[in-house]
Amino acid sequence: MYQADDMRYEKMEYNRCGNSGLKLPAVSLGLWHNFGTTANFENMKNMCTTAFDCGITHFDLANNYGPIYGAAEENLGRILKWGLDCYRDELVISTKAGYDMWPGPYGNWGSRKYLVASLDQSLKRMGLEYVDIFYHHRPDPETPLEETMLALDSIVKSGKALYVGISNYDKAQTKAAMEILRELKTPFIINQRKYSLFERNIEEDGLKHFAAENGCGIIAFCPLAQGLLTDKYLNGIPEDSRIKTDGRFLQESAITEERLEQIRALNQIAADRGQSLAQMALSWVLRDGEVTSVLIGASKPSQITENVKIVGNTSFTADELDAIEKICK
């Protein structure tokens, strides 16, 4: 029987999510990659227990994470049943709906019918009575925002989720959703957006600061730019890299000589800080307290333990921040 590390909470920092009572670990584990039908179960299990032993209490999923759709949720359900479920009250489990999930007009976007049905399916796959956070995964240009937000509200009131969030909503969309949910007194606490040294949209449209000023947490996904912000590609493209084995998310064309020059320069700043490039990239996302948590992906447990070493080392000098900005502009 799995027994968690007694010192796990000494290894992590926990940040309040917006104005809610919920705290999230500074580092959360995303099950987007490497938890599908093609993944090794023992490795998946070891990644989850390693994460929890490091104080990572938040596991993030979506209905269509795989391959195949639903596989990540099913595999987390297997891991919970194997023994992690005895710690259910210490875990924050989130899932989402909003992208293509099943055929026909009711398996996509943001209707009440889709969101409620999808969450019911997700709970069944994971063997759970509720999730801690349920997200609408992306804005729906055709469904009235009120319908989508009312669906999230009713999901909380039904007991199937404790909190709700949104993902991929920009500043204006977040403001509109927030106004509806506040009027309903729905526990809306978080927006999940892509954010990294190479992806600054939440800064450019003002969402990052707006969320911090208005009591909404931000959790950042793709903080390592699909592996670009690591030392993996400094000396060419390894044969076992994601580019070679799974071209869905990062294309070889993204690794230009100009990009490599940026990566090498950032790697030197990281080395001067006593960090790996990946560690510095994660630390940078958390540098000013406006981002609640950073979502990491992993293919093996050792990557998780390395990433958690950023805890307590997310401050930067003004000179470091200026140098990073000159490289990334």
CATH number of 8-233+278-315: 3.20.20.100
Contacts of 231 (CB under 8 A, 6+ apart): 267, 276, 277, 278
| Reported confidence tier of residue 235, pLDDT bands at 50, 70, 90 | confident
Whether 13 and 57 have beta carbons less than 8 Å apart is answered as no
Helix, strand, coil percentages (3-state) for the chain, rounded to 5, are 45, 15, 40
Of 194, 221, 202, 217, nearest to 296 by C-alpha is 221
pLDDT band at 234 (very low <50, low <70, confident <90, very high): confident
Q: What percent of the chain has pLDDT above 90?
A: 90
Query: Would you place residue 257 in the very low, low, confident or very high pLDDT band (cuts 50, 70, 90)?
Result: confident
> pTM for the complete prediction?
0.95
CA distance 322 to 109: 41
The Cα–Cα gap between 41 and 81 comes to 13
What percentage of the chain reaches a pLDDT higher than 70? Answer: 95
Question: pLDDT (tens digit, 9 = 90+) per residue, 134-183?
Answer: 999 999 999 999 999 999 999 999 999 999 999 999 999 999 999 999 99
Residue 244 pLDDT: 53
Question: If we measure between CA atoms, which residue out of 190, 126, 141, 203 comes closest to residue 162?
Answer: 190
pLDDT number for residue 103: 97
Question: What local confidence, expressed as pLDDT, does residue 225 receive?
Answer: 94
pLDDT at 329: 84
Q: Which residues pair with 163 in a beta bridge?
A: 133
Q: By CB neighbour count within 10 A (0-12 exposed, 13-18 middle, 19+ buried), where does 40 fall?
A: exposed
| Cβ proximity of 83 and 1 under 8 Å | yes
Mean pLDDT for the chain overall = 95
Q: What is the mean pLDDT of residues 276-292?
A: 98
How far is 306 from 62, CA to CA, in rounded Å?
Answer: 25
Q: What are phi and psi for residue 31, nearest 5 degrees?
A: -105, 30
The confidence score (pLDDT) of residue 58 equals 99
Give the model's confidence band at 243: pLDDT under 50 very low, under 70 low, under 90 confident, else very high: low
